[in-house]
Amino acid sequence: MKMCKKYILPLLSIFLFSACAKKTESTAPSISFVSITPASLVIGQQNFTITFSYIDSDGDLGEDNADVKNMFVTDNRNGVIYEFRIPQLSPSGSNISIQGDLNINMPNVGISDGKTTETATFSIYVKDRAGNQSNTITSSTVTVTAP
């Protein structure tokens, strides 16, 4: 019995400490797909726009430094990654929740399989100034046609 009492107090202390430990909330941005327009395009004649919504609980999404890329779009047909910069969306050190929609003006894409028509989807994620990466979303399909 004496041996059992010896371990009860330390185990009880560990249990109480872990029960009171502060749970940390993720500060990574969260994104969701909205649209891709137009849904079909002709190579060399049209660009297209991907729109997505974002929520960032601490407001550090976006960057003032033009050399820093923080938005990444992957062409799921061939793995080509396009890098963009989201401008800073709230003042440094403000620690406020922000949300809204962002548009990605995509350059004209080609056909990767040699056919006259092809469909494509794109995967998107963003990173905030602290380096936290958002979830990855996938666009709806866009149809690409040769002229």
pTM of whole model > 0.85?
Answer: no
Under the banding of pLDDT at 50, 70 and 90, the label for residue 15 is very low
DSSP of the chain: -HHHHHHHHHHHHHHHHHHHSPPPPP-S-EEEEEEEESSEEETTT--EEEEEEEEETTS-B--S-TT---EEEEETTT--EEEE-PPP-S-TT----EEEEEEEEEPP---SSSSSEEEE-EEEEEBBTT--B---EE---EEEE--
How do residues 115-143 score in pLDDT, each as one tens digit?
A: 899 999 999 999 999 999 999 999 999 99
- What integer pLDDT is reported at residue 11 of this predicted model? 43
How do residues 104-114 score in pLDDT, each as one tens digit?
A: 999 878 887 77
How do residues 54-89 score in pLDDT, each as one tens digit?
A: 999 999 999 999 999 999 999 999 999 999 999 999
Q: In this prediction, what percent of the chain has a pLDDT beyond 90?
A: 67
